[in-house]
Amino acid sequence: MKKTLVSVAAIAAAFPAFAQDLPQTSSDWFTAGQAHVDALIARQHNTGRAKNVIVLVADGNGVGTNYATRLFVGQQMGKLGEEHVLPYETTDWSAALVKTYNINAQTPDSAPTAGAMNTGVKQRFNLINLGGDAIHGDCGTVTGNELTTFAEIVTGMDKSVGVVSTARLTHATPAAVYAKTANRNWEDSVPEGCTTQKDIAAQLIDMMDAGVIDLAMGGGRRHFAPEGVVTDEGKEGRRKDGVNLIDAAKDAGAQYAWNTETFGALTMDSPILALFNDSHMEYEADRADDDEPSLADMTRKAIEFLSQNDNGYYLEIEAGRVDHANHDGNAYRTLTDGRAFAEAVALADELTDDADTLIIVTADHEHAIAFNGYCGRGSDILGLCYGVAKEGDKHADEPLLAKDGKPYTVMGYLNGAGSVLVEEGNDFKGSRPDLTQEDATDIDYIQQALIPMSSETHSGEDVMVYAKGPWAHLFDSTIEQNVIFHVMHHAITAE
């Protein structure tokens, strides 16, 4: 018997007519799915020129880490977790997958990934905003390889520029807004005889003096103060050249803040340099409200300050410590900083207008994070993997056991300090400990890992980019990371 082929278009056209007869139409899943499609159909492309661009980067927040954050935030709200939607995951945001590799590295580093987003070209491992002929650690290859940054471009359009980070301002991702260096680790000094570039901290102050950077808030105070000089927190600076860059910035007319009190006293009438910690700012889980402002606090201040420019602004905001907690193998601090990032995104969206502001939410890279199965709905993302229940939605009452007869957590890492292998002489041996839910959900718990490493590594997996505002719809399919720059540039120059 000859089969009749029915086109997808014909089925789609007939759907409204027979949908009411489908048994699943009474399901919440069915109606929510149709509502999602309806919202996408109704979405209109914004092809106006962007006055402002805000890029929010959760360092190390790839697809896996973002998944864990979604569950964590949802479970903190009393949900099972999986059904939760983060602020940037709704239908009014466009999205794409992003390939993060560097010119010479399958597994990327934060410096060239952030540099790719700020210049439009991929870069080499451990370098910032230098072309492909530059060599890591070779100061002589800087000249002639300097790339023009997005910050420099928008400054030429009389826009303001700000950079905010919970990491040191001289760290890779924030530094990519303003610095050009053959080594991301030259935060407060360069090798003897290197005359082709300054250290990263000095470059920030130079960019403030030149009117390129109008606001900079984050950590890293020690790289701006000389050796022997006691900093605001009672520690000492690290600069060997004897130059006090904090004093230099103040002498040039910048405001300076170092804690929540001085942060609250900042005014809107002159450039801002805020250094809230000698190194990185505290993890959100450890932050005292009277010590350091939150990422959302800094986001609000930055937008209010930069919005004074009628020509617009470019602002990069980094949740830098998502990355560091992943390196530590500590899920609790990873996800609490992820939650703080989501709050900053929601606030940035609230304080701006989609009509004239392109907001981009992304990550520079992912980590060697892994998720176990087969866990029932609502298994605590920080805790043990509980079995799938035969009835209802929530997981069964008993945790699943591995072949060794011991429970395991939902979340782990392929490598890191939590490795189950322990060095014994010239060999590595070990077995997994018998975990309890209380152990696994402790704030200081280090997730189990396979390969022993002192610090967990990045991975080469794709990350997501989400966007809303002018030309956000250009983020689609799978893109190279440097394409993010090109969307930003098109948005601010569109006719």
Catalytic residues: 110
Half-sphere exposure (Cβ direction) of 286: Cα atoms closer than 13 Å:
12
CA 435 centroid distance within chain? 31
Q: Give the whole-angstrom CA distance, residue 447 versus residue 439.
A: 10
Q: Give the whole-angstrom CA distance, residue 470 versus residue 490.
A: 9
Closest CA to 172 of 214, 215, 124, 207: 124
For 416, the enclosing helix (H) or strand (E) is strand 411-416
Q: Is the peptide bond before 408 cis (omega within 30 degrees of 0)?
A: no
Per-residue b/e over 322-358, b at no fewer than 16 CB within 10 Å?
Answer: bbbbbbbbbbbbbbbbbbbbbbbbebbbeebeeeebb
Residues 6+ apart with CB under 8 A from 447: 329, 330, 331, 409, 411, 412, 413, 416, 418
Q: Give the whole-angstrom CA distance, residue 294 versus residue 287.
A: 8
Q: Please give the biggest Cα pair distance in the chain.
A: 91
Residue 284 DSSP symbol: G
Q: Phi and psi dihedrals of 416, rounded to 5?
A: 140, -175
CB 462 within 8 A of CB 100: yes
Burial classification of residue 423, based on how many CB atoms lie within 10 Å of its CB (0-12 exposed, 13-18 middle, 19 or more buried): exposed
Q: Give the whole-angstrom CA distance, residue 87 versus residue 110.
A: 24
Q: Give the whole-angstrom CA distance, residue 339 versus residue 70.
A: 8
Q: Give the whole-angstrom CA distance, residue 489 versus residue 480.
A: 15
Token pair for residue 198? 């300054």
Dihedral Cα 392, 36, 354, 173, nearest 10 deg: 60
CB 124 within 8 A of CB 181: no
Token pair for residue 73? 């935030």
